[in-house]
Structure 1
């Protein structure tokens, strides 16, 4: 059905203006003042912002880890994402050494098929590099449209790859037009510090943070950046949590390296003290990299404001407190790493960022949607409001005040990491390709309506945009 969104304030990464939007056949067909369309469904957005749908570049749905599986799958996870104003996610497809990459991709297609309520794509983990893997990569890009590869520098004996694997992946990505992502922590040092802590009887959740100090993230970030520079390739550092890592990214970018950085809402508003909560409550906040001392938050906010960090991923990786997190009650190394964050990503950035003057409204849209679309081969189909783009649209009331709580969230997990936090702003209605997924704060979507996205190859020109290209 044709839809006409009227009276809202449209916000893109570059402009803010009042106009109407005509939606036809899942696309934005017209933007203008006082539009009319006989027979169209009228959607009144008075008093609301109209944003492009959020794009979450970092989720882990239905993912095995630590002897269990994340609580949210592609159905519950994407429903929660939609309630939070996200209309596209890119999930991480894990691989197994010695097995064809296509096997893992097929597994992830099976996990998501007939479940997702919004559009989605995959990143692909690279855990080893050899002639078989190198031979498969062109097919992965051309046939599957997977144009981003993730290398773990942590989780020794589980996911961790060596420097040769990272460097050769960077070289291949440069040739093939893919973006390499890194989980940047020094896994070898963490392994030593972890074993030492356990041997000394230090088993509480706080030791998860104390055995993964900021320096191991900063060191790995700097090492990955130097390897990217040596390969003349492109690098995206996921879940940046501390000043040490921000400094390494800023230094590399100042040298002209093609490097990008992502942070997450949890690092902007929570701190290391949460891991010290009594009665094992600290386990709720065990993820990697860990939460940092509070002063790092100002560094991260400033990095978003000045462009040293460019995106905000949720790193959604939810495990129940009871029955999953408590697997590590007597040993912090057995606590499944991850937290529930997909639903509150956008509201937290708006409330703590825009409302408090830390970032502008246009920066908010760039960070939550536009830049992600540009970096990961989805722009201009996704990531902006313009004629011809997918009608992925969020009608957002900036004046609502609500309290985040597990009692009202839509994730399947039994706690909320931001429990009790008061935020300003909430999505009222969310459209995916012109169809309501959330309407007046009620879910009206259909599992399986989300489409798998084949993404374009990485392009620095697209990632930067015309204005930034002209300035370099």
Structure 2
């Protein structure tokens, strides 16, 4: 059925204007004024903003870690994402050194099939580079449409790859047209500091942060950026948390290196003191990189404003406080790393960013949707309100005030990392390819309706002219 959205303020990464949107067969077919609505369902967006569905480039759903599995799977996780205004996610497919890449990808297809309520794609973890992997990667790109590879520089003896693997991945990605992503922390030094802390009997959650200092994130970020410049390749640094890493990205970009940076809402509004909460409550905030001293928040906001950081991911990786996080009650290294973030990503950036004047409304759309679509081969079908684009649309009330709470969120996890935070703004209705998933704040979607997305190769001609000097 045709739909027409009327009376709303349309917001893209470039423009803000009053207009109407006609949707036919899941695609935007017209944008303008006084459109012919004959036979169409009329959606009244009066008083609301209308912007493209959010794209979350960084999720971990139904992922094994630390002897347990994330609480949110592709059903509960994508339902929560939809309530938060996200219509597409790109999840991380983990690999094992002893099995073919296609086996890992098949496992992730099985995890997501008949569960996702929004559209989704996969990134692929690279833990080693050998002839078998090199032979498989062209098929991964051409057949599966997976055009981004992730290399971990941390989690020694678990996920961590060595420098040769990272560099050869960058070289290979340049040739194949893929974007390399890194978790940038120096895993070797972290391993040493962790063993030293445990030997002294320091087992509380705060030591997760103290054994992963920001200098090690900065060092690894700089190392990965320099490898990228040497290889003439392209790099996307995930979950940037501190000034040290921002500085390395800014310097690399000033040299003309093809380097991009993502931060997450938790680093913009939470700080290291949360890990010191009594009664083991600090375990709720254990993830990597860890929360930093509060002053880093201002650096991250300025980096988003100036364009030195370009995107916002959630790093959704939820574990229950009771029964999962408490596995590390006597040893912080056994606390499963991660938090429930997927539902609150857009609203926090809007409330703390747009409403407080830290970023513009158009930057908000670019950071949460458009730039991500361009970087990860989804544009122009995703990431914009334009004729020919998928009708992934969020109708957002910018004036409603509410309090974030586990009592009202839609994630399967038993706590909310932003519990009690007062924010302004909330999605009212969310459409994926022209069909409601959330309508008037009620879930009306269907598990399995989300489509797997084969993505295009990386566009090395993406403009980087938005760079502005950054003072730290």
TM-score (norm 2): 0.98
SS at structure 1 position matched to 2:364? helix
1:404 corresponds in structure 2 to: 404
Matches within 5 A, 1:44-443: 44-443=44-443
Shift of 1:36: 2.5
User: Counterparts of 2:459 and 2:4 in 1: how far apart (Å)?
Assistant: 34
SS at structure 1 position matched to 2:75? helix
1:13 corresponds in structure 2 to: 13
Shift of 1:108: 0.1
1:450 corresponds in structure 2 to: 450
User: Counterparts of 1:124 and 1:391 in 2: how far apart (Å)?
Assistant: 27
User: Counterparts of 1:83 and 1:381 in 2: how far apart (Å)?
Assistant: 21
Deviations, residues 46-100 of structure 1 (Å, cap 9, x unaligned):
0000010000000000000000000000000000000000000000000000210
User: Counterparts of 2:381 and 2:80 in 1: how far apart (Å)?
Assistant: 23
Q: What RMSD in Å do the two structures reach over aligned CA positions?
A: 0.9
Deviations, residues 336-383 of structure 1 (Å, cap 9, x unaligned):
000000000000000000000000000000000000000000000000
User: Counterparts of 1:358 and 1:39 in 2: how far apart (Å)?
Assistant: 42
SS at structure 2 position matched to 1:261? strand
TM-score (norm 1): 0.98
SS at structure 1 position matched to 2:5? strand
2:463 corresponds in structure 1 to: 464
Whether contact under 8 Å (2:236, 2:262) holds in the other structure is: yes
Whether contact under 8 Å (2:11, 2:362) holds in the other structure is: yes
* CA gap 1:468/1:423 in 2 versus in 1, 3 angstroms: closer
1:26 corresponds in structure 2 to: 26
SS at structure 2 position matched to 1:327? helix
Shift of 1:460: 2.2
Shift of 1:34: 1.6
Deviations, residues 270-320 of structure 1 (Å, cap 9, x unaligned):
000000000000000000000000000000000000000000000000000
Shift of 1:148: 0.1
Whether contact under 8 Å (2:307, 2:466) holds in the other structure is: no
User: Counterparts of 1:402 and 1:37 in 2: how far apart (Å)?
Assistant: 34
User: Counterparts of 1:270 and 1:426 in 2: how far apart (Å)?
Assistant: 20
Deviations, residues 26-57 of structure 1 (Å, cap 9, x unaligned):
00000011223211100000000001000000
SS at structure 2 position matched to 1:30? strand
Whether contact under 8 Å (2:197, 2:203) holds in the other structure is: yes
User: Counterparts of 2:318 and 2:11 in 1: how far apart (Å)?
Assistant: 31
SS at structure 2 position matched to 1:8? strand
User: Counterparts of 2:370 and 2:131 in 1: how far apart (Å)?
Assistant: 36
Which blocks of at least 5 consecutive residues in structure 1 are unaligned?
none
Shift of 1:435: 0.1
SS at structure 2 position matched to 1:29? strand
User: Counterparts of 1:464 and 1:12 in 2: how far apart (Å)?
Assistant: 17
Whether contact under 8 Å (2:306, 2:466) holds in the other structure is: no
Shift of 1:468: 6.2
Q: Which contiguous aligned blocks of 4+ residues in structure 1 show a shift greater than 3 angstroms?
A: none
2:37 corresponds in structure 1 to: 37
User: Counterparts of 1:191 and 1:367 in 2: how far apart (Å)?
Assistant: 33
User: Counterparts of 2:7 and 2:321 in 1: how far apart (Å)?
Assistant: 43
SS at structure 1 position matched to 2:235? strand
SS at structure 2 position matched to 1:81? helix
